[in-house]
Structure 1
Amino acid sequence: MSKIEGQVALVTGANRGMGRAFVNGLLARGAAKVYAGARNTEALADLVAEAGGRVVAIKLDVTKAEDVASAAATARDVSVLINNAGTAGFSGFVNPDAVELGRSEMDTNYFGPIRVSQAFAPVLKNNGGGAIINIGSIASHINFPVLGTYSASKAAVHSLTQGLRAELAGQGTSVIGVYPGPVDTDMAAQFDSDKTAPQEIVRQVLDALDSGQEEVFPDPVSSQVYGQFLSDPAATAKYIGQTYLPG
């Protein structure tokens, strides 16, 4: 039996891509309820309508402290938190807009999960510990210059995941880091490369939650690149830097 059966989850950025796939994947594994968070709850209407009362739409812009506080006050029964909301500006560091884009990416990709995790850590503790799943990227480990500022924000997510894992171990909260390669979502539409279906990423992540795995490289690209990185970090970083240049 899946550990997800009977649990209550919150998914940020649930209106599309991997967030939407997470909602459906959790339901398929028997979650009792899924709070689907999005800036615009109208985008969640079909998920709510199809779920027979098991999906609750919740207004949640992870960059707004008031939204996060309201979500935590409403969703007091959450036992699994999935920090999925993200944005990418597709900027290298010498782009004139890099600082502005980098701030936006950091606010959503890094400070957003901090805000949500802070708000929900006491909720998870009260509900027996539960789990936090942070969606990083293979770019958390290696900077892809075509996604320079995004890679930096995802590196911060990796560090956040490690820190949360240590801080929350005492309350029984497991913290899982997820580091996919290219995923077949709107965010990666401009990349001409092999991409993994979001449903497959979700399957791998939920399997990891069931098995107690703390780090997930859920597709062939992320597994291969991370393996190369562990074997020869400098050579791998140099290759990525030369291959994935902006412009």
Structure 2
Amino acid sequence: MTTALVTGAGRGLGRHFAAELLARGATVYAGARDPGTLDLPGARPVALDITDPDAVAAAAALAGDVDLLVNNAGISTGAQLLGDLEGVRAEMDVNLWGTLSMVRAFAPVLAANGGGTVVNVASALSWFSAPGAGAYAVSKAANWNMSNALRLELAAQGTQVTSVHLGLADTDMARGVQGPKTDPAVVVRRTLDAVEAGELEVVVDAWSAMVKASLAGDPRAFYARFLPA
């Protein structure tokens, strides 16, 4: 039995995380910018915009019994680093700074409840970039290494930090993207099983595993698929 808070629980992976946790017998706080959009019987709705410090603090005060924090909320604007900086900043504000804000607010809560676990949903794009995903890739790379740093900083209080990496999940965010997509329910089950097993990194699919393995090689080989001949 556990008590979890899931960010971005109104749809996509977040909704699947909340539903699967409920099915496993957990108490679930479901965070969403508009809690009126939540349709998860048994979940406890929480008004939560992770870029709003007051909302984050209020969530931590409300959910003082949490021992599992699932940082799922994220955005993808399609911004390019040499394009609209507002889009770049928006992705960093959510995918990096908002996620870090949640961890900073809930670290004392987790400590008080025995240590617990933080799950940060990153991406295969933590390890590469592709046309149309420049800002997103940078934000998720930062998210991944943030998990590595937080794992060290939170070790003394017994908090496990697990980073999740996947290619495309069959959700609204990936609706306009072509390519193989993993059932979000499968992503969630694999993640929660890995968390229970104490794993520190979840590589959900074969594409993510290939990308991670490519880091040991010459980047010219990997990026040949994107660069002009």
User: Is residue 27 from structure 1 mapped to residue 15 from structure 2 by the alignment?
Assistant: no
1:220 is displaced (CA, Å) by: 2.2
Partners of 1:36 and 1:220 lie apart in 2 by 30
- Relative distance call for 1:143 and 1:67 in structure 2 (3 A) is same
Q: 2:5 corresponds to which letter in structure 1?
A: L
What corresponds to 2:62 in structure 1? 74
Q: 2:97 corresponds to which letter in structure 1?
A: F
Partners of 1:220 and 1:22 lie apart in 2 by 21
Q: Secondary structure, in 3 states, of the residue corresponding to 2:223?
A: helix
Partners of 1:34 and 1:239 lie apart in 2 by 45
Partners of 1:56 and 1:216 lie apart in 2 by 27
- Relative distance call for 1:180 and 1:35 in structure 2 (3 A) is same
TM-score w.r.t. structure 2 length? 0.96
Q: Secondary structure, in 3 states, of the residue corresponding to 1:104?
A: helix
User: Is residue 15 from structure 1 mapped to residue 1 from structure 2 by the alignment?
Assistant: no
What corresponds to 1:204 in structure 2? 190
Provide the aligned C-alpha RMSD in A: 1.4
1:227 is displaced (CA, Å) by: 2.3
Count of residues in correspondence between the two structures: 228
What corresponds to 2:96 in structure 1? 110
Partners of 1:225 and 1:92 lie apart in 2 by 21
Can you give the 5+ residue segments of structure 1 that lack an aligned partner in the other structure? 1-5
Contact 2:3–2:28 under 8 Å retained in 1: yes
Partners of 2:76 and 2:131 lie apart in 1 by 13
What corresponds to 2:79 in structure 1? 91
2:117 paired residue among 115, 120, 131: 131
Can you give the 5+ residue segments of structure 2 that lack an aligned partner in the other structure? none
- Relative distance call for 1:239 and 1:203 in structure 2 (3 A) is farther
Give the structure with the higher percent helix: 1
Partners of 2:144 and 2:86 lie apart in 1 by 22
Stretches (4+) displaced over 6 A: none
Partners of 2:25 and 2:221 lie apart in 1 by 40
Q: Secondary structure, in 3 states, of the residue corresponding to 2:154?
A: helix
Percent of aligned positions with the same letter in both sequences? 44
TM-score w.r.t. structure 1 length? 0.89
